[in-house]
Amino acid sequence: MPELSSVRLLWPWPGIQSRCHSPRGPQPRLLSSRVPRAPPTHPAMSSCSRVALVTGANKGIGFAIARELCRQFSGDVVLTARDAARGRAAVQQLQAEGLSPRFHQLDIDDLQSIRALRDFLLKEYGGLNVLVNNAGIAFKTDDPTPFDIQAEVTLKTNFFATRNVCTELLPIIKPHGRVVNISSRVGTNALENCSENLQEKFRCETLTEEDLVDLMKKFVEDTKNEVHEREGWPNSAYGVSKLGVTVLSRILARRLDEKRKADRILLNACCPGWVKTDMAGASGCRTLEEGADTPVYLALLPPDATEPHGQLVHDKVVTHW
């Protein structure tokens, strides 16, 4: 298995207050009106210092999320894609609809690409207000690729690369920021199909990020050694990868509470549902707009909201698992 890159999370990052208005969107009950601490200024900010970013946004659910954020978010929206030509084409499509997204190339499998994006956000905006981690992959059910290869490739992108994005960008999330990790209830199904021993480990409230990484690596190794079923794993690489994203979200939310509680950053995982995309195929039962509904809701939670946080959310409702 190739070495998977990771870096140490740096906590906390100095808070930077936005100069623009609060985001518009679904308005849950406001729980507080406390103003965040005054931030240092940044010498090279855009005319509006508020910014939302969506990964893997040139098509599918990510594109629909970017479109809706362009309509509702008070600030700039950065659409990212691995393929620059496809990303710019997506931006042109939204521009033709009267919207004004920005584009930045991002390959989440490339740590240097993630860091280049981080540097861009710091230079242009002094940080980041909203992060939607949407980029991901899935093999078709009839794909002939050996299962161990599917496991390695799927976890490399869906879990390890998503983790790298969080590692690099969470430290620059501004006070009252919102982080949304696109997961799936397929991950919940994968958990239910794990052995009792593995279920206990994943559900443990004191599970650390390092422990979770070890579990994800063990799944890949067990598939290579053809012992994953005997070791209590399900036969779903995609399911295990999304289980990892959901549990990672819980761990990162807990760390935010420990290190940056006063900043009131909310981080959640969500399931967009079975959407008609290239990934799901024609069997999807939801439109792209319906799939984007919950991610956008979480991205636009008002500044004084205190929940949900560290949860898996489906149809705007917390899913207990």
Residue 97 clears pLDDT 60, i.e. is over it: yes
Q: Pick the catalytic residue: 238, 264, 292, 301?
A: 238
Residue 37 clears pLDDT 60, i.e. is over it: no
Note whether 299 and 173 are within 8 A (CB). Answer: no
**Residue 238, amino acid:** Y
Residue 87 lies in a domain: yes
Predicted confidence band of residue 158 (pLDDT cuts 50, 70, 90): very high
**How far is residue 19's CA from residue 51's CA, in Å, rounded to a whole number?**
11
The CATH number for 304's domain is 3.40.50.720
In this predicted model, what pLDDT tens digit does every residue of 223-235 receive, in sequence order? Answer: 999 999 999 999 9
Note whether 275 and 60 are within 8 A (CB). Answer: yes
Q: Residue 307 is encoded by which pair of tokens?
A: 């929940």
**Residue matched to tokens 């855009």:** 46
β-pair type (312-314, 317-319): antiparallel
pLDDT given at position 123: 97
Residue 8 clears pLDDT 60, i.e. is over it: no
Residue 1 lies in a domain: no
Residues with Cβ < 8 Å from 74, sequence gap 6 or more? 20, 21, 22, 23, 24, 50
Residue 282: Cβ-neighbour burial (10 angstroms; 0-12, 13-18, 19+): exposed
pLDDT given at position 41: 38
Residue 25 clears pLDDT 80, i.e. is over it: no
What is the percent of the chain where pLDDT is above 90? 79
Give buried/exposed letters for 283-305 (b at 16+ CB in 10 A, else e).
Answer: ebebebebbbbbbbbbbbbbbeb
Residue 176 clears pLDDT 80, i.e. is over it: yes
Q: Is 131 helix (H, G, I), strand (E, B) or coil?
A: strand
Give buried/exposed letters for 10-34 (b at 16+ CB in 10 A, else e).
Answer: eebbebbbbebeebebeeeeeeeee
297 is annotated as an active-site residue:
no
In this predicted model, what pLDDT tens digit does every residue of 189-201 receive, in sequence order? Answer: 999 999 999 999 9
Residue 165 lies in a domain: yes
Residue 260 lies in a domain: yes
Predicted confidence band of residue 46 (pLDDT cuts 50, 70, 90): low
Predicted confidence band of residue 273 (pLDDT cuts 50, 70, 90): confident
Cα–Cα distances (Å) from 125 to 59, 67, 76, 264, in that order, read 25, 20, 10, 19
In this predicted model, what pLDDT tens digit does every residue of 285-295 receive, in sequence order? Answer: 689 899 999 99
- The chain-wide mean pLDDT, for the chain, equals 87
The number of folded domains in the chain is: 1
Residue 11 lies in a domain: no
**How far is residue 214's CA from residue 218's CA, in Å, rounded to a whole number?**
6
Sheet strands (E) in the chain: 51-54, 76-81, 102-105, 128-133, 173-182, 266-271, 312-314, 317-319
pLDDT given at position 177: 98
pLDDT given at position 275: 60
**How far is residue 294's CA from residue 251's CA, in Å, rounded to a whole number?**
21
Residue 163 clears pLDDT 70, i.e. is over it: yes
Residue 277 clears pLDDT 60, i.e. is over it: no
pLDDT given at position 22: 36
| Domain around 255 | 51-150+161-186+245-315
**How far is residue 282's CA from residue 143's CA, in Å, rounded to a whole number?**
17
Residue 125 lies in a domain: yes
Residue 275 lies in a domain: yes
pTM for this model (two decimals): 0.84
The predicted model gives 60-66 an average pLDDT of 97
Residue 82 clears pLDDT 80, i.e. is over it: yes
Residue 11 clears pLDDT 60, i.e. is over it: no
Residue 177: φ, ψ to 5°: -70, 165
Residue 217: Cβ-neighbour burial (10 angstroms; 0-12, 13-18, 19+): middle
Residue 211 lies in a domain: no
